[in-house]
Amino acid sequence: PELQVASLDHAMWFHRPCRLDDWLLYTQDSPSAAGARGMTRGSIFTRDGRLVASVAQEGLIRKRAND
């Protein structure tokens, strides 16, 4: 493969209990990408709009060095 990708760190925070067998909405954005790193964050909401969890992840994506 020409690309090297890896998860550098990630976290998930649960803010309140919720039913996992009901509808949940996951929203995601990527506020930063520079220097071979990208950062993403997400939110998980119940059907009635309550925030139940937040997530964040930083990843590496770069062209693989030639051997």
CB contact at 8 A, 30 and 40: yes
Tell me the pLDDT tens digit for each residue of 4-42.
Answer: 999 999 999 999 999 999 999 999 999 999 999 999 999
Residue 65: pLDDT band by 50, 70, 90 thresholds?
A: confident
At 60, list the tokens: 């590496």
Q: Which of 11, 57, 47, 9 is nearest to 26 (CA)?
A: 47
For the beta carbon of residue 67, count every other beta carbon within 10 angstroms.
3
Q: Assess if residue 67 is contained within a domain.
A: no
Where residue 47 sits, what CATH number does that domain have? 3.10.129.10
Res 32: pLDDT: 95
Res 1: pLDDT: 75
Q: CA–CA distance from 8 to each of 5, 14, 24, 33, 61 (Å)?
A: 9, 21, 27, 13, 10
Instruction: Tell me how many domains the chain contains.
Output: 1
